[in-house]
Structures are given as structure tokens and as C-alpha cells.
Amino acid sequence: MENLSPNPPQEKSWLKIILVVFIALLIVSNGVFAYLFLKQTYFPAQFNQNLNLGNLNINNANENQNININANVENPYELNVNWQTPQAVKFYDFFKKDSLIKSLTGFNDDYIRDLFSDFNSLEKNYFPEFKISKVGSVSAGDFQGSDLYVIDEPALELGPRGTIRVIRTKEGKDIILKKESGDFSEFDQKVFLINQTMTLADNQVPAIIQIPNSTINLIWDNNISTDFFNAADMQPLFKYNGTDFVYKDTKRDCFIVRANDGTMRYYFYKFRFLKTSESGYALALPAVIPFTFSDGTRNQFEYIYEDYGACGSRGCYIYPTYAQDASQFEQIGVMNDNFGNIYKLKDVNVKATADSKDSIFKEMYDGFYVPSDQPKPSYEEFLSGSPIIYWQDPLGGFLEMRNTKFIPAAECGKPVIYLYPEKTTDVEVKIWPSGGLKLTDPLYDNGWLVRAYPDGQLFNYANGQTYPYLFWEGRGLDYQMPKQGFVVAKDQVKQLLADKLSAFGLVPKEYNEFIDFWAPKMQAKPYYFITFVPQQEFDKLAPLSVKPRPDTIIRVFMDYQGLDKPISVQAQEIKKTERRGFTVVEWGGALH
């Protein structure tokens, strides 16, 4: 029979065959992709065994790579650990030098790139500051046998040190546990993988601890510590869960709980009258202690009740060694809300130590600063103002509280921060005046995030407004005015400020704004003593962090005192800072 079908239908049959083959290949490829995806998601340890990352040579392998890994069947986000006594590890016993050199390339930040290009300098100044401790090994799950380390890192910038917790897998991969770590640096992002989800199953401590036979609680300060527990310094107080103790650090008078990784957790009294931070714990700021004197009058004074240092509280309490017996104290009042009694020392001639020249009260009286245009109270008036009081805590100790009226103090007046990047840059700025922030503009929400322009204009992302600088005011305690400086007549104040601020490296726009704010405050007296706190000291008073790291930082903080007549002082040496690259300038002064 003759085939009457024309050729076009035959061509269509071939097209159908090609289409079927294409669809089949597409189905197979999708299946392979799905298999690989599921394998990496649910069986990551086996999948990653073939990754050739080495110990630290992971340069681009972990760039912007955050891995999420199932640790065990019961809870995919927790690691069970066999804990050990913390064992110190030397830097190059943990890091491999050749791999480290290869890893430390390609930094985005110009300053850090320059810093890490000088490896010899790193070995001399940066690496020795690392504190590395092995604290255990993972006992179950995909990471069974991996070692766990606590690493205390030096800061690449001004500000606090960093703390990270790292597991080293049997394959040699080092992974930061983000949820168990503080902030990490560009260094960490270059040499470690970062996991977003995993936690340590049994390294937690309670947020609040009830003190036995009391309505008063201790509250964890919510910080991740790298300080390791030292039993020799600890006095056990009571068991908070039937097994584990709350301790008192006998050197610093801190309340301590030991975490399973060997690090300490710090606890503080949960006073109801204190302000609360964003993280929930009581801030260490001066507070009006709510108690009533025995004569019925209510206390109106602020007291600082924690160990204070440069520009604020250091975070632990003061339990006097010079008076520990209850017979040395006399009750003078009662705290509100059944918080206990308030006492004073019977003997005002008690010395802090046997070697002390004067009593604690005389030393306090001699040390507190009074502006020259205000009369200093007599010693008798000082003693009558309850300069030091004591609260008997529920554990029987007497906690020292000092009246801030008689503590050397300086208000950090109108410090402003200018940012001058070489090109338009997003910048994060944080400031830590340990006496606390009083006022900021724009609003300080755990830092400022701004877009900075080379001309100094700042766009604040939080409210969409533009600012010429960042402004803050804070309070500093235990402040001592430098003795070196300059004495000028009041009509010469402006010229002196212009000369000295220019010598520091400020430009006319900056020092003119400084003069506009401060010169009017120095006109009441015929003469003025003017001095500047050294930048390294001001860095301690109010640590500053700027990211990305500036090439130049100039911080100027002035203090002054009015005089009825000129006095002779040693001239203060001022070293000019040359401005180069991304420059940050800050100026401020002490308000009296």
C-alpha cells in the first residue's frame, strides 16, 4: 500500500522525540539537584567531608557563608559536651601559621587590610593578646569528637575585647557558635566558619536566683564572660539549685556562678529602684537610694554602690575590709519595700588600711572637687551629709554606698563626633561612657548607624534625618583634673582655645563650634585655668568604637577652673595629629 503521508508529519515525529528526551533530562537533573540539596541540609557532616578547607585556609570558602547544621536528633540546635578543666592553648598550637597568612587577605576595611599586611607586627602586638582555652569535646551527634574552645580576642578597634566559642571538627574545620559568642571581627570572618543556630546544651545559667530566706534576688548581667573560675578566690555562699553554688569573689566582691565551660557569670542585686538596660539587667548608675532616716526624713541623695573607677562603675560591689563586724555599725535608717536597714560607721577615724595616711572619710573629703566659684563645705558639714552609708544585705554583709555629691565628678559636656570618610560610607559608631549616657542626638539605640559623606554630613538611618555631627552627654565619676595646662585672662580664652585646638589638629569649623559653646562659660571669673585630658585617658573614660576603622582619630576633652588671680602652672604639651584618610574628630569638656 502506498504511503500517502507527506514529509512534514515525519519531521514532527522527530521533534516529539527531541522534546521527550529534553523533558527526561530536565527531570533527572532536578532530581539530582534535590538530592544534593537535601543531603547538604540533613546530612551536612557527611556532605562536607569532601570540602577541602583545611585548618584555616578557608579564604573565600566562608566569605558571607553561614552554615546551619543539625547537631543531633533530639535537638538539632544543641550540642552536648563532655566538659573538662579549661586548658590554655598557645596561639600557634591552635592556629597554623602558613594557613593563617594565606587566610588574612582581601579585607574590605582599608585600615584592617593595612594592619594585617604587616604580619610581623601582628605577631608582636596582636596575636600575643589572644587567650585560647580548650574546655571540652562534643559527645554526640554529627560533631561527636569535635573539640570546644573559648577564645578571648584583643579588639581591632577601641572598645571591649571579643569573646567567641569555637568547635574544631575532626575534619579540621573551625566553626564559631554565633549564639554562644559576642561580636566577632573581620579576622574571625576570615579564619572561621560561622554557625547561626547551634548552642551548648548544658552551659546555661539561671537569669534570676532567689537568695534563701529573702525576697531579694540576684540577676545575671546577661554578658558572655571569658574570665575563668578560680576556686582560690571564691567563697561559697549558698546552693541555688541544690547542687551548684553562688560564690563571692573575695578579691572584687562580685557574685559569681560557674558555667560548665569553666567561665564565670556575674550576678547583681535586683534593686527595684534602678534603671534597666535593653538586655534587662540593672544599670550601674548612681541612684537615689529609697530609705528613710531614723528621724523620719527621706533620703534625697544619689549614691554609687558599686566599685567605681575612671568615668564610672566597674560593676562589682564594695564590701569594706576596714569594718566587718556588726558592732562597728550604727543603724540610721530603713530601706523601702523591706529591703533591709541602712547603717553608718560609729568611728569616723577608721582607715582603709593600716598604711593609710588618713581616715576613709578624710581621704574622701580631701579628694572631691569643688569649682572655685563655690565654697567647699567644712569637714563637719561633710560628715553630717551622710557621705558613706552601708546597707546590710540578706547574706549579712555590709555594702558600702558613697554619696555622689562628694565624689569627684565631671559631666561630659556636649561631646560631638565628626566623621570624614574619603568616600561616602556607612558607619557604625558606639560609645561607652561607663557612667552612662544622659542625652544623645540623634537617639542612641545601642549605637548609631549613619551614612557619612566626605564633607562631614551624616544621614541617620534610624530617623531619616541629616546631622552635622553626633552629639552625646554622659556622666563620669572619679574624675581628676590634670595639673598641667594654661592660665589666661577671660578675654584671652577664645584665642587660647583656637591656638590649642588647632595644635591638636582641629580645623576652623570644628574649633569655632567648640569656642562658641565653651567660651561663654568661662567669663564669670577674671582668669581661667584650662587643661586637656590626654587622649589615652579619655579613651578609658569613654571608649569609642567606629566601624569601619578610621585612619585618624582625634579626641579632645577640656576641663577648666575659674580663678580670682593668675597662678603658676606647668605648661601642657600638645602633640598634633596629622589627619589622613578616614578621619574622626571628637571634642567635649567637663561641665561644672
The whole-number average pLDDT for the span 28-46 is 46
Q: Does 554 have pLDDT greater than 90?
A: yes
More confidently predicted of 185 and 352 = 352
Q: Band of the pLDDT at 69, cuts 50, 70, 90? A: very low
Q: Taking the model in full, what pTM does it have?
A: 0.61
The whole-number average pLDDT for the span 19-30 is 61
Q: 480-509 burial, b if ≥16 CB within 10 A, otherwise e?
A: eeeeebbbbebeebbebbbebbeebbbeee
DSSP-based three-state secondary structure for 536: helix
DSSP state of 360: H
Instruction: Please give the span between the terminal C-alpha atoms of the chain, in angstroms, as a whole number.
Output: 117
The whole-number average pLDDT for the span 35-53 is 37
- Which run of H or of E encompasses 116? helix 110-117
DSSP-based three-state secondary structure for 337: helix
Q: Does 158 have pLDDT greater than 50?
A: no
Q: Band of the pLDDT at 435, cuts 50, 70, 90? A: low
pLDDT, residue 285, reads 59
Least reliable range by pLDDT among 2-16, 346-360, 396-410, 488-502: 2-16
More confidently predicted of 185 and 244 = 244
Q: Does 300 have pLDDT greater than 60?
A: yes
Least reliable range by pLDDT among 35-49, 66-80, 225-239, 364-378: 35-49
Q: Band of the pLDDT at 311, cuts 50, 70, 90? A: very low
Which cell numbers in the block locate residue 303? 549614691
Residue 533's beta-bridge partner residues?
Answer: 557
- Contacting residues for 158 by C-beta, under 8 A, at least 6 apart: 539, 543, 544, 545, 546, 553
pLDDT, residue 15, reads 58
pLDDT, residue 93, reads 93
Q: Does 88 have pLDDT greater than 70?
A: yes
pLDDT, residue 476, reads 54
Which cell numbers in the block locate residue 128? 600575643
Domain limits of the chain?
A: 66-200, 208-406, 409-591
Q: Band of the pLDDT at 259, cuts 50, 70, 90? A: very high
pLDDT, residue 483, reads 86
What's the Cα-to-Cα distance from 573 to each of 269, 482, 503, 533, rounded to whole Å? 45, 12, 10, 11
Strand pairing class (425-431; 448-452): antiparallel
DSSP 452-514: E-TTS-EEETTTTEEESSEEEEEEEES----S-BEEEEGGGHHHHHHHHHHHHT--HHHHHHH
pLDDT, residue 333, reads 96
What's the Cα-to-Cα distance from 482 to each of 83, 199, 242, 557, rounded to whole Å? 50, 48, 52, 11
Q: Does 260 have pLDDT greater than 90?
A: yes
pLDDT, one tens digit per residue, over 474-532 is 765 455 678 899 999 999 999 999 999 999 999 999 999 899 888 988 988 999 999 99
The whole-number average pLDDT for the span 380-388 is 94
Q: Does 310 have pLDDT greater than 60?
A: no
Q: Band of the pLDDT at 415, cuts 50, 70, 90? A: confident
Average pLDDT score, the chain = 80
pLDDT, residue 227, reads 82
- Which run of H or of E encompasses 288? strand 287-288
Of all residues in the chain, the percent with pLDDT exceeding 90 is 45
pLDDT, residue 155, reads 65
More confidently predicted of 528 and 313 = 528
Q: Does 43 have pLDDT greater than 50?
A: no
Q: Does 580 have pLDDT greater than 50?
A: yes
Residue 430's beta-bridge partner residues?
Answer: 545
- Contacting residues for 332 by C-beta, under 8 A, at least 6 apart: 293, 294, 342, 343, 344, 386, 389
More confidently predicted of 115 and 47 = 115
Q: Band of the pLDDT at 535, cuts 50, 70, 90? A: confident
